[in-house]
Amino acid sequence: MATATASEHVTIPPFRPSRRILLGPGPSEVDPRVLAAMAMPLLGHLDPEFVALMDETKTLLRRVFRTENHLTMAISGTGSAGMEAVVVNLIEPGDRMLVCVNGVFGGRMVDVAQRAGAEVTAIERAYGEVFDPSEIENAIKKCAPKVVGIVHAETSTGAWQPVEEIAKIAHQHGAMIAIDTVTSLAGVPVEIDAWGIDAVYSGTQKCLSCPPGLSPVSFSAQAAEVIANRKTKVQSWYLDMQMIQRYWGSDRIYHHTAPISMNYAFREALAAVLEEGLEARFARHMLNHHALKAGVAALGLPYLTVEGHQLPQLNCVGIPEGIDDLTVRKRLLADWGIEIGGGLGPLKGKAWRIGLMGHGSRRDHVEIVLSALETCLADLGHPLKKGEAVANANVVYAKAE
Ligand SMILES: *Cc1c(COP(=O)(O)O)cnc(C)c1O
């Protein structure tokens, strides 16, 4: 008599994702070298080989952050975990924090700081703008914060915020400065030591071109001391840097199991960045940005970020009157496999965000997204001259040769 149940004969085919060209705000296209590293066999999280990999990762990460900071490592979690780690470790309940908000991620930092018990002062700028050092100085004088939090590359608007001057001002007034480099790291210069940054976090899936899953962080010696001398326990057990440090440092005390494969990937991504060279990588991002910008001008799409502060890796452009956001983005995905980002917050339905991040910042991507957008816009009756967008981009490439 047959005793087998139906469930023993089930086949569930493996998941096979379609090929996409990821030109949105992240995740960005991953270097095949990084994907290959993720398929390597697992090691135990205290295996000497894994421990050596953690040490090597810290060294490589210091070079990418351009810092000598001892307290430099990858938090297990995405960029938002890094944001939370920085805030909850520096802030004790009742501490004052000044947060600069000119987009979605500054707004998120306010929420995180409030949940950590900070007395938050938020200053605002319209989406697409950046802050002047003088207005931040005025706010610091009024609220005398322990920490100033600011986003270096605001992914929701494409705004590139200079932070060096602001760091100086914060220090003159006895405050620490924490910066969000989730989208900036490995796409535009990030100089943690030269700028005097006290705390920084980033993410793996933007210009580092690694899957999402880790958040690199670094704390200055002074910030590390502030953390060591806290009167209260860090609100988050998982993100307590003192405990994490005992695992990532020489003690190797178990705290949580490191995501092994993600750490392989991260090490490989850092190696790829350093092999290319940071300056060469920044120049590549800039060249592809200029080519894209020349192309979208021909399509009649205006940049929504103020001139002079446009991130090369995140191009935020206005959607023309009468053109439906989703109609275009759905067609880009269906017909070309291209993903671009829509607008966030007040820019919902009004903006497209074209990411040229890390491994994805390439000439072939610039040309395919320009010609696909041109086809979509022309089919919807938007006036343009066929072929002009890619031709404009090619002029930029020709000049660069
Ligand atoms: C993507 C992003 C984050 C959040 O990172 P997640 O990986 O989505 O958690 C934070 N800040 C900025 C500027 C970002 O672009």
- pLDDT 10s digits, 200-213: 999 999 999 999 99
CA of 353 to the centre of ligand 1 (A): 14
- pLDDT 10s digits, 105-144: 999 999 999 999 999 999 999 999 999 999 999 999 999 9
Pick out the chain residues at pLDDT < 70.
1-7
Assigned fold of 32-275: Aspartate Aminotransferase; domain 2 (3.40.640)
Q: Given the structure tokens 């790291």, which residue do they identify?
A: 185
Distance, CA of 203 to CA of 190 (rounded, Å): 13
What confidence score (pLDDT) does residue 2 get?
53
CA of 13 to the centre of ligand 1 (A): 33
Distance, CA of 348 to CA of 76 (rounded, Å): 31
Ligand 1-lining residues (CB < 6 angstroms): 26, 78-80, 83, 105, 151, 153, 155, 180, 182-183, 203, 212
User: CATH 3.40.640.10 occupies which residues in the chain?
Assistant: 32-275
Edge-to-edge strand order for the sheet containing 351-355? 314-318, 351-355, 341-342
Cβ neighbourhood burial of 42 (10 Å; 0-12, 13-18, 19+): exposed
- pLDDT 10s digits, 225-247: 999 999 999 999 999 999 999 99
CA of 209 to the centre of ligand 1 (A): 14
pTM of the predicted protein model: 0.96
CA of 203 to the centre of ligand 1 (A): 7
Looking at domain 278-400, which of 3.50.40.10, 3.30.70.20, 3.90.1150.10, 2.60.40.10 is its CATH number? 3.90.1150.10
Distance, CA of 98 to CA of 265 (rounded, Å): 35
What confidence score (pLDDT) does residue 6 get?
56
**What H or E segment, with its residue span, contains residue 115?**
helix 104-115
User: CATH 3.90.1150.10 occupies which residues in the chain?
Assistant: 278-400
What confidence score (pLDDT) does residue 8 get?
81
Of all protein residues, whose CA lies closest to atom 8 belonging to ligand 1?
79
Mean pLDDT of the chain: 96
Distance, CA of 328 to CA of 38 (rounded, Å): 34
Distance, CA of 157 to CA of 129 (rounded, Å): 8
What confidence score (pLDDT) does residue 4 get?
54
Of all protein residues, whose CA lies closest to atom 14 belonging to ligand 1?
182
What confidence score (pLDDT) does residue 120 get?
98
